[in-house]
Structure 1
Amino acid sequence: MMTPKPTGPPDGGWGWVVAAAGFAVNGLSYGVLRSLGLAFPDFAEYFDRNAQETAWVSALALAVQQAASPVGSALSTRWGARPVVMVGGILTSLGFVFSAFAHSLLHLYLGLGVLAGSGWALVFAPALGTVSRYFSRRRVLAVGLALTGNGASSLLLAPALQLLLDNFGWRGSLLLLGAVTLHLTPCGALLRPLALPGDPLALPRSPLAALGLGLFRHRAFLVLTLGTALVGVGYFIPYVHLAPHALDRGLGGYGAALVVAAAAVGDIGARLLCGWLADQGWVPLPRLLTVFGALTGLGLLAVGLVPVVGNEDSWGGPLLAAAGVYGLSAGSYAPLIFCVLPELVGIGNVVQATGLVMMLLSLGGLLGPPLSGKGQSQQIRSPPSPASGDPAL
């Protein structure tokens, strides 16, 4: 009996279930990371540390998640995305549970930064690469839908996390987040393998070959990854520091959550609109990527101008507006950078290419947030009580 030959991407069917799984994976990784800044004041107060030191929690998680993404891609190439993502969900959950019992900031670095970051490294690239494999004509829209997960998660999780912090403290909140992030495991179970004509005929012979480092021989891919590293220096700064900065300026816990939510709303709308626009084929993807990369820089500039356009008593409005503008610009950039990869390296190498792009992003993700934290006050102020005139109440 002859084995049926692989056909092209189905552009639908189970692919939409895979896209939904990618949505959840994105929300339970980057969405959680974006909202985690709400707990920084509690970390700073409990461990008597400043803003720059607490920012290393998210910076390490981002750096480990992205630097180790090629490992997730390599393991996915060898054993498939499904088991790799399931194991990653377990590691991420264990990282939060471990951190809930922390007695020093170093424990948070190890728990949230290294252990949870390693788990996230195993889930993102395989899940997103699988979404790309299931679509062709509607690839940017499908990837854009999957990537709205972090925006939707930020929108819902930011106020929810603040509520948890108010009622259960940071230790109880981390325990509950450990239970929530464990849902990455069933998401991985939904990633059904798909054989495509462009797949390599044989598995890589060595772990080094499985990393896909040979893709750097493609000049266009090399230029893309180097440009991505430069963008990454500024890309994550607002997402890491928006909530702590809002708290530092006296907006209160729920005011800070509203700032995160404003960025999330802009992010969701931009990713859906960008996905639809790119799939129309009116403008080549590389050109769109250049345009939206420039817009991301302008959005970052808008956040940086907040202290210039408003005084300390009226920063709430400008900060909300800047967060929304940055969400719109940065959200447009994200789907394009991953959807241009099949055109550069072929659909059979898209999972490995995704991991390598994440690795280059990690260089900026590691340096940007801590260095920018030097501009904040040395000790994050606790949110004011209602009696002191909290403007968020």
Structure 2
Amino acid sequence: MIPAGHRRSVVTLVAAFGIQFFIGVLIYGTGIIHLSLLDVFQRDDASTSVVGSLFVNLMSMTGPLASYIIHRWSCRVTTIIGGILLVVGLVASSFVKSFWVLIVTNGIISGVGIGLTLLPCPVSVGFVFPDHSGLAMGITTSGVGIGMLVSGPITQYLLDTYGLSGTYLMSAAIVSHVIPCGMLLKTPLKKNQTPVASKHITEYLKTYIKVVKTPAYMCVLVGSILWNIAYSVITIHLPNFVVQNGSTRSEASFLITLIGIGTILSRLTVGLATGPNGLDPLLLNFGLTALMGTVIVTFPLYVIYPTGPMIFALLYGIYSGGLLIFTVPLCLEFVGMQHLNSALGLWFLLLGLGSLIGPPLAGLVLDQTGSFDYSYIISGLFVLSAAVCSLLASIWRKPRNKTVTTRRDPEIWTADNGAVVIHIPSPSR
């Protein structure tokens, strides 16, 4: 018989995986929907991309808000609120005729909803699997990869069958499944991190000050902002690019599927490679970021050949997919379990700011030059700069695994339902 604590951990992992899957289906259909928005509203690429950019990146920028709700109540409540907002925004978008109203419904309301839904996943995984957070994150975020696999074909099918309005309605039905998944996120919280201890906003903000004063964490965070600029550019603009170069929309959606395949392989492999006595997550973060930047900078060389975009999509998925795996392990190393929630909230916020810049900037470069080549080269340089930030972080990080302890005091946690959980951490090696 499986112990209650282990059952809770497995249920949390499965629930977080499910949330990531449904969110992945929704997010990675944004580039396909962007093509329909161009047709329906007849606006330039830069302004039209604001809808998708807000939708994708408010998911990150709402990090501090989601973090506070988690502090104030729980991961479960945060996910349910986010799921409701997400569904309401998508349903409202199906009835919208004005481009500016669509920015509010699909861009802002749904964007905030997706942010409140997503952040509880790494937070809950970090609390439940502190010693194996890399592997747990690899399994959880592979749900996004599987969602990406089916996102392109599903989104294109919905658009062909039901049009843009019907696609928004069907998307709302699909993503509504995050609500029951969120109800299963019963993660234990340490006693000094229960909602009662964190109700006062001043005490909550102090945790962010402590996080910002950690140089190694801030270096990696700046690097994440830089590579997310490129990540958002490719998510939204890659389908448009290949369509403009003669591919069909079905072929464009297949590229998202290839990125998803690479992402799944990367996340599971990197997840297995990290953990106790595993490979250094900071070193892996540097390596994958540098390879991702190199692939993006050389993007104009890939498109010379008919199969070039497919090779690019697969390589991009492999090198970019594993980067999210390091979020929780690096936060735990640099700021500790006590400030994990705030560190992830700030991480998501600044990722959103970086991603918000990317698509409009790429659209502006396209409108001014008539070519996406310069957008990809610039984006690749941003990613290579992010790799340099990872190297700088190693200057301030503390030595790893230098202290040998044979005994650690038990930690008293309280679960969402009020039950007390005694957690005895495994000794350091």
User: Which TM-score tier does this pair reach, normalised by the shorter chain?
Assistant: 0.7 to 0.9
Q: 1:81·1:130 contact (CA, 8 Å) conserved in 2? A: yes
Q: SS state of the match for residue 320, structure 1? A: helix
Runs of 4+ displaced beyond 6 Å: none
Q: How much does 1:250 deviate?
A: 2.6
* Structure-2 change in CA distance of 1:183 and 1:208 (3 Å): farther
Superposed displacement of residue 165, structure 1? 0.7
Q: Supply the distance in 2 between the matched residues of 1:78 and 1:138 (Cα, whole angstroms).
A: 26
Q: Please state if 1:366 is matched with 2:353.
A: no
In structure 1, the partner of 2:89 is 95
Confirm or deny: 8 A CA contact 1:89 1:119 kept in the other structure.
Answer: yes
SS of 1:203 mapped into structure 2: helix
Letter in 1 for 2:113: G
Q: CA deviation at 1:363?
A: 1.7
In structure 1, distance between residues paired with 2:196 and 2:85:
30
Unaligned runs of 5+ in 2: 371-429
Q: Aligned in 2, Cα 1:338/1:236: closer, same or farther, shift over 3 Å?
A: farther
Cα offset for 1:301?
A: 2.3
Q: Does 1:50 align with 2:44?
A: yes
2:335 corresponds in structure 1 to 345
1:295 and 2:285 aligned: no
Alignment-derived partner of residue 208 in structure 2: 213
Q: In 2, distance between residues paired with 1:83 and 1:205?
A: 15
Show the counterpart of 1:113: 107
Instruction: Tell me, yes or no, if the aligned pair for 2:19 and 2:181 is still in contact at 8 Å.
Output: yes
Are 1:330 and 2:324 matched, yes or no? no
Write the letter of the residue equivalent to 2:53.
A
For residues 201 and 113 of structure 1, the distance between their equivalents in structure 2, rounded to whole angstroms, comes to 30
Q: Secondary structure at the match of 2:247?
A: coil
CA contact (8 A) 2:302 2:311 kept: no
TM-score by length of 2: 0.80
Alignment of 1:264-283 (within 5 A): 264-279=260-275, 281-283=277-279
Question: Any residues of structure 2 matched to 1:252-267 within 5 Å, and which?
Answer: 252-267=248-263
- Cα drift, residue 144 of structure 1: 1.0
From 66, 79, 84, give the equivalent of 2:73. 79
Q: Supply the AA of the counterpart residue of 2:54.
A: L
Query: Do the aligned partners of residues 32 and 299 (structure 1) sit closer, same or farther apart at CA in structure 2, a change above 3 Å counting?
Result: farther
**Greater relative contact order (Cα < 8 A, sep 6+):** 1
Equivalent position of 1:391 in the other structure: none
* Residue in 1 that maps onto 2:135: 141
Q: Distance in 2 between matches of 1:37 and 1:233?
A: 15
Maintained 8 Å contact 2:83/2:117:
yes
2:266/2:318 contact within 8 Å kept: yes
Do the aligned partners of 1:35 and 1:161 also contact (CA within 8 Å) in 2?
yes
Contact 2:125 2:136 in 1 (8 A): yes
Report the aligned-residue RMSD. 2.2
Equivalent residue pairs, number: 364
Q: Does residue 1:154 correspond to 2:144, yes or no?
A: no
Deviation at 1:235, TM superposition (A): 2.3
Q: Is the 8 A contact 2:58 2:108 kept in 1?
A: yes
Which residue is equivalent to 1:231? Answer: 227
Asked if 2 retains the 8 angstrom alpha-carbon contact of 1:245 and 1:376, the reply is no
1:246 aligns to 2:236 (yes or no):
no
Residue of structure 1 equivalent to 2:397: none
Q: Which residue of 1 aligns with 2:35?
A: 41
2:61 to 35, 59, 67: 67
Give the counterpart letter for 1:14 in structure 2: R
Instruction: Name the SS for the 2:242 alignment partner.
Output: helix
* Separation of aligned partners in 2, 1:116 and 1:322: 30
1 CA distance for matches of 2:67 and 2:299?
A: 34
Contact persistence 2:12–2:187 (CA under 8 A):
no
Structure 1 CA distance for aligned equivalents of residues 137 and 248 of structure 2? 35
Alpha-carbon distance between aligned partners in 2 of 1:76 and 1:348, rounded to the nearest angstrom = 14
Per the alignment, in what secondary structure is the counterpart of residue 250 of structure 1?
coil
Please tell me the residue identity of whatever aligns with 1:362: G
SS of equivalent to 2:198: coil
2:349 is aligned with 1:355: no
Q: Distance in 1 between matches of 2:156 and 2:336?
A: 43
Q: Which stretch shows the higher mean deviation, 275-284 or 340-349?
A: 275-284
The residue type paired with residue 338 of structure 2 is G
Contact 1:246 1:259 in 2 (8 A): no
Residue 244 of structure 1 deviates from its aligned partner by 2.0
Structure 2 partner of 1:3: none
Cα separation, partners in 2 of 1:95 and 1:304, compared to 1, 3 Å: farther
Deviation per CA, 1:265-306, whole angstroms, max 9, x where unpaired?
001100000000113634322222222222221232243543
SS of match in other structure, 1:279:
coil
Q: Indicate the residue corresponding to 2:167 in structure 1.
A: 173
Mean Cα displacement is larger for which, 267-276 or 364-373? 364-373
Equivalent residue of 1:236, what SS? Answer: helix
Q: Return the alpha-carbon distance in structure 2 between the equivalents of residues 18 and 278 of structure 1.
A: 20
Cα deviations by residue, 1:347-372 (Å, 9 ceiling, x for unpaired)? 13212211110111112101111111
Q: Structure 2 CA distance, aligned partners of 1:269 and 1:208?
A: 42
On the 8 A contact 2:23/2:147 being kept in 1, the answer is: no
Q: Is the 1:296–1:326 contact (alpha carbons within 8 Å) kept by the matching residues of 2?
A: yes
Instruction: State the Cα distance separating 1:187 from its structure 2 match.
Output: 1.2
